[in-house]
Amino acid sequence: MQHQITVEDLLDALQERLRLRLLAGKKGLGNIIFDAREEKSDPIVAGPLNYIHPSRIQIIGPKEKKYLTGLSGEEQEAAFTRLFSAEPAAILLSNRLKSLPALEKLARKHQVPLLASSLKDSQILDNIQYYTARFFARKTTLHGVFLEVLGMGVLLTGHSAVGKSELALELIIRGHRLIADDVTEFRRVAPDILSGSCPPLLREFLEVRGLGILNIPAMFGDSAIRHSKYLQIIIHLKRMKLQEIADMERLRGAHRYRTVLGVEIPEITVPVAPGRNLAILVETAVRNHMLKLKGYDAAEIFIERQSQAIENDKQ
């Protein structure tokens, strides 16, 4: 597991999104922005130019540049000395600002990467904080197939050979999208939100017994996959005999909650037996869950209607 974020890591991850350019200080790309083994609190790695509480990435926006250019020669030199004495990992110019020659010279001297972006400083801060929070979020891996079904993140779980991959293939053919097969990495990106993605080695592939490894985008197009999705519901596939299915709760079904990284995720057990169309059952389970999120519970409505009918008969 990687514990550090370097300036080079940040460039690899966000260069395109933040439209970053390296102006000077290439030798400092290995500078450490954050080390999880040393820092115990949540990382706040970037912020506007600050001499008292300097961030690892000092961002110079329009206000900061106006302050610096308004200084006399000696005052500006002293300001830059204070800036580099704090040993920032990188300095970033936002809002299409032109660089200052003295700043580039000092960046090369102190081996501090000087970056530039055309985006606003607020956008840069939001993206960097989200990246670092996601990087160091609590993580776990779960066995199963993770899909986007009707816009919701659905994890199919169950014992080996229960039919998860075959069901996933049928759902993909019906227009839904694959995120991960066999192993899904989940990160807790907010107090009640889990984001799931596929390990790079397995990305885009689905294994189906008898057919082997299938490349989903090659067969069905790029729209058949997604790289990540929030986990919203778990569908647990369980082999059952007809009598076991008959004995299940009739009104509410087999609903419970499963705790993943401290977040409670709704889990529905769907019986696997000959003659049951699992793809339709999964789609229906997702639609029913969406209705519940909007406040409509069919079981509650039916119970209330039945109670009202009994009360009317008594009267």
Among residues 65, 164, 176, 229, the one annotated as catalytic is 164
Is 182 known to be catalytic? yes
Q: What is the token pair recorded at 61?
A: 């926006």
Exposure string over 238-277, b if 16+ CB within 10 A, otherwise e: bebeeeeeeeeeeeeeeeeeeebeebebbbbbbbbeeeee
Is 164 known to be catalytic? yes
In the 8-state DSSP scheme, what is residue 225? B
Torsion over CA of 135, 138, 141 and 144, rounded to 10 degrees?
-100
Quickly tell me which residue has 């008969």 as its tokens. 313
Rounded Cα–Cα distance for residues 49 and 185 (Å):
36
Determine the distance from the C-alpha atom of residue 287 to the mean position of all C-alpha atoms in its chain, rounded to a whole number. 23
Give the CB-side neighbour count of residue 4, counting CA atoms within 13 A. Answer: 10
Give every strand in the sheet of 114-116, ordered side by side: 21-24, 114-116, 90-93, 57-60, 46-48
**Dihedral-angle region of residue 96 (phi above 0 means left; psi in -120 to 50 means alpha; beta otherwise):** left
Q: Are 1 and 35 in contact (CB under 8 A)?
A: no
Determine the distance from the C-alpha atom of residue 46 to the mean position of all C-alpha atoms in its chain, rounded to a whole number. 20
Amino acid identity of residue 280, one-letter, is I
267 belongs to an annotated ligand binding site: no
Among residues 19, 82, 143, 276, the one annotated as catalytic is 143
For 70-120, give the DSSP string: TS-HHHHHHHHHHHHHT--SEEEE-TTPPPPHHHHHHHHHHT--EEE-SS-
Among residues 182, 203, 238, 292, the one annotated as catalytic is 182
Is 255 known to be catalytic? no
Is 40 known to be catalytic? no
165 belongs to an annotated ligand binding site: yes
The torsion angles phi and psi of 228, rounded to 5 degrees, stand at -160, 160
| Residues annotated in a binding site for Mg(2+) | 165, 207
| Residues annotated in a binding site | 165, 207
Q: Which residues are catalytic?
A: 143, 164, 182, 250
